[in-house]
Amino acid sequence: MQGAFEIGLWFLIALVGVPVIVFTLEVVLAMLPAARVARSAERPGCVVLIPAHNEAGLIAQTVRSVRRGLIEHDRVLVVADNCSDETAAEARAAGAEVVERDDQDHRGKGYALGAGVAAIAGDPPAIVVVLDADCEPEPGCIDTLVRACVATGRPAQASYLMRPPVGGGVGDRVSALAFRFKNLVRPRGLARLGGPCLLTGSGMAFTYEQLRESELATGDIVEDMRLGVDLALAGAAPVAVPGAIVWSVLPGADDAKRTQRTRWEHGHITSILVHTPRLVASGVRRGRVSLFLLALELAVPPMSLLVLASAAVAALSAGSGLIGVPWGPALGACGLLALVVLAGVLGWARFGRGTLRARDLIYIPVYTVGKVPIYCRALTGRQKTWVRTARDPTDPDACTR
């Protein structure tokens, strides 16, 4: 009986160990100088496509920030998707072209993107850059993404980062740090291995043909991850462009935080279960290392879940040692927990000091445990439908800070 239990423990350790090792390797490699991404000398025109649902009061600022980084022949297209406010009028007044879409049975970002691509079919650009309505690209971001997409022929993903909301607490800063790990540190590390990246939802450049041939009009709550996997399987795996940065702001209201985190976390877990096997199977069939690397990247769960899983396996293994099971699994599991903690500290020291103060690191375990209800709900019934994250009405200038 003890032998079978020990085998079960080793299986759990292996299950947790793969993403822990991938995460650690990515953080360590991210310490090296960033991999260079090819940039084309040619700069064709682009369309910046912005899906928006009830973004009045914010969309005009976003359009103006985008237009500052454009050149002649570039365009901004806002898809006002099922809006009941003045989003369309404000976007037009700020200088954007606008497509208004009204279909209450098919709501969500994927449907809005599909409508946007259909709207530019009559005069298609070489490159389409997708940007969320609450985002601000840093100077040069759009140009860098377009040139990288032209040079590589692959989708180009900017570093999509978050700022804490005005008046936000230490939990918001921890969340912003986790976002930095996911969208900057890990893609930068994987790029050192020559690996592709996942799409993260905003600051994404594609050739028009790549979007035209993709299945966009879906209600997938993490349509970006699915799109990135689909394109990788089609031979156009996304490439990370660390030099291009897009900023947004975390929601300030507790309900909005909970909604956004649940959508992200449940969507990520669903993507792991659905798309990792697809990537592995295709990698085996085609002999493509890049698909294996992307599968490993996708298999790393959200940081809080990775830490919780490592701690749970370590506690279970240590408790088993106390009742007579050999101590080998306990040593292995505690080693994995130490490894993920060490990688987190190293990543914070190199990339996160400006986001989270050293004295606030002690709050991370509290923040992590606070995610347990979200993961429990993922076991009983994962969120599967798109829900818009409410913007903070008290912070109208959030996207321009």
What's the whole-number mean pLDDT along residues 251-274? Answer: 81
Query: Percent of the chain at pLDDT above 90?
Result: 77
Is 21 within the bounds of a domain?
yes
DSSP one-letter string for 9-54: HHHHHHHHHHHHHHHHHHHHHHTSPPPP----S----EEEEEEESS
Is 394 within the bounds of a domain?
no
Q: Specify the pLDDT at position 154.
A: 97
Q: What are phi and psi of 79, to 5 degrees?
A: -100, 105
Same domain, 118 and 26: no
What's the whole-number mean pLDDT along residues 292-309? Answer: 95
C-beta of residue 299 within 8 angstroms of C-beta of residue 19: yes
The better pLDDT of the pair 275, 384 is held by 275
In the predicted structure, residue 128 carries a pLDDT above the cut 80: yes
Please report how many Cα atoms fall inside a 13 Å half-sphere around the Cα of residue 100, on the Cβ side: 12
Q: Specify the pLDDT at position 323.
A: 87
- Neighbouring CB atoms inside 10 A of 25's CB total 17
**Which is nearest to 148 in space by CA: 101, 195, 207, 102?**
207
Same domain, 319 and 245: no
In the predicted structure, residue 400 carries a pLDDT above the cut 50: no
Q: Specify the pLDDT at position 381.
A: 61
Question: For the chain, what is the domain count?
Answer: 2
Residues 6+ away with beta carbon under 8 Å from 283? 289, 290, 291, 292, 295
Same domain, 238 and 334: no
Per-residue b or e along 172-185, where b marks 16 or more CB atoms closer than 10 Å to that residue's CB = bbbbbbbbbbbbbb
Distance CA 337, CA 279 (A): 27
In the predicted structure, residue 125 carries a pLDDT above the cut 70: yes
In the predicted structure, residue 390 carries a pLDDT above the cut 90: no
Q: Specify the pLDDT at position 398.
A: 44
Same domain, 71 and 18: no
Confidence band for 382, pLDDT divided at 50, 70 and 90: low
Two structure tokens written together for 183: 């969208």
The better pLDDT of the pair 283, 252 is held by 283
In the predicted structure, residue 386 carries a pLDDT above the cut 60: no
Q: What are phi and psi of 217, to 5 degrees?
A: -75, 75
Q: Specify the pLDDT at position 58.
A: 93
Confidence band for 199, pLDDT divided at 50, 70 and 90: very high
Distance CA 174, CA 164 (A): 9
Same domain, 190 and 142: yes
Is 238 within the bounds of a domain?
yes
CATH number for the domain spanning 97: value is: 3.90.550.10
Same domain, 235 and 335: no
**Which is nearest to 262 in space by CA: 387, 174, 80, 158?**
387
Q: Report pLDDT digits (tens) over 204-247.
A: 999 999 999 998 878 776 789 999 999 999 999 999 998 899 99
Is 383 within the bounds of a domain?
no
What's the whole-number mean pLDDT along residues 21-25? Answer: 97
Distance CA 200, CA 85 (A): 27
Same domain, 242 and 338: no
Is 164 within the bounds of a domain?
yes
Q: Specify the pLDDT at position 106.
A: 87
Is 277 within the bounds of a domain?
no
Q: Specify the pLDDT at position 174.
A: 95
Please tell me the pTM assigned to this model: 0.90
Confidence band for 387, pLDDT divided at 50, 70 and 90: low
Question: What is the largest distance, in Å, between two alpha-carbon atoms of the chain?
Answer: 73
Residue ranges making up the domain that contains 187:
46-252
Same domain, 184 and 237: yes
What's the whole-number mean pLDDT along residues 52-74? Answer: 94
Same domain, 18 and 50: no
Q: Report pLDDT digits (tens) over 154-194.
A: 999 999 999 999 888 999 999 999 999 999 999 999 999 99
Q: Report pLDDT digits (tens) over 339-363.
A: 999 999 999 999 999 999 999 999 9
Q: Specify the pLDDT at position 391.
A: 56
Same domain, 8 and 91: no
Q: What mean pLDDT, rounded, does the chain reach? A: 91
In the predicted structure, residue 374 carries a pLDDT above the cut 90: no
Final residue before a domain boundary, out of 186, 217, 252: 252
Same domain, 313 and 168: no
C-beta of residue 259 within 8 angstroms of C-beta of residue 390: yes
C-beta of residue 70 within 8 angstroms of C-beta of residue 127: no
Same domain, 65 and 11: no
Helices (H), 31-140: 59-67, 87-93, 109-119
Distance CA 186, CA 147 (A): 23
